[in-house]
Chains A and B, each alone.
Chain A
């Protein structure tokens, strides 16, 4: 194990296994100050983590492609009924 105290860790001690767990904080903008600079310093010199981050961005993008072609889940009959219910609700009382 790494002997140096947590407080003395430089960016060199920031390991890929920590990086992959911090990726979402980074993408969500929830990472500040020192954590952010250590993350970014690691990213600059680690190809594996750079690829990991790129893959994750791709994953998010691909997920965004799902569902866009979905047809309306509501059948035409159910849709007609609901619009009818809306109409009835607003119909002036006799």
Chain B
């Protein structure tokens, strides 16, 4: 389940080239890399600059769905998100020569997408108020409903009044059932946009914290606050689901 999406099948000669050879190839003796070589940024960038179509196709297939999901959190419609993704790819085609490789190609790619999608979003939202990062951070959002704890005035104030019960008793198949995953998806869909982006990149795409801070221009602390609130809400949705009640 945790395997990355399958690599795009490369046509003909690319499959016969040896991966190792690509690492040692000089400018004159360029050996077409195999798909597994593209995980190396140096090889991928060099391949894209040379016009290696298989490298570009690999990039499209690897990041296409993920870019689409992220774009969706900035704009109102799926069509606008698609447009943002297309514009991003065009920017990659025309801009790869100017990419300075100070960040990873992935970070560069997502930064383009975010800039494109954000400006589209700003245009769309011209008349509609939407939550800024500051608004989101200013909200006082406890991770757990305060009524679950013993109230002030009691010696046990702040201790669980209604403690969580283990989910271990849920059979594995129920935990991973489509229905359970749909609950997670629905919970993410209702998150404020900044929380949703951080959660998606961290827990769904599996990015490391510095990558997310860099791509979304967030401080470590703000990223952690957003992640904390987002995870707490998804947990709450799952708890309600397993208890058969509604939040």
A-B contact count (CB 8 A): 160
In this assembly, does B56 line the interface, its C-beta being within 8 Å of a C-beta of chain A? yes
- A interface size (C-beta, 8 A): 46
Interface residues of B in 122-148 (CB under 8 A from A): 142-144, 146
14 contacts between A and B (CB under 8 A): A1-B152, A15-B149, A17-B144, A25-B228, A48-B160, A49-B160, A55-B167, A58-B238, A59-B234, A59-B235, A60-B203, A70-B65, A79-B57, A82-B89
Q: Which of A46, A64, A74 contacts B203 (CB 8 A)?
A: A64
Tell whether B44 is near chain A: CB-to-CB under 8 Å: no
**Chain A residues within CB distance 8 Å of chain B:** 1-2, 15-18, 20-21, 23-25, 28, 30, 46-49, 51-52, 54-56, 58-60, 62-68, 70-74, 78-79, 82-83, 85-87, 89-90
- What are the residues of chain A within 8 A of B21 when measuring CB–CB? none
Which residues of the other chain, A, contact B144 by a CB distance below 8 angstroms?
17, 20, 52
Q: B199-240: which residues lie under 8 A (CB-CB) from chain A?
A: 199, 203-206, 209, 220, 224, 227-228, 231-232, 234-235, 238-239
Does B86 make an interface contact (CB < 8 A)? yes
Taken residue by residue from 92 to 107, chain B's Cβ proximity to chain A (1 for < 8 Å, 0 otherwise) reads as: 0110000000000000
Chain A: which residue is nearest B235 at the CB level? A59
Residues of B with C-beta under 8 A to A54: 166-168
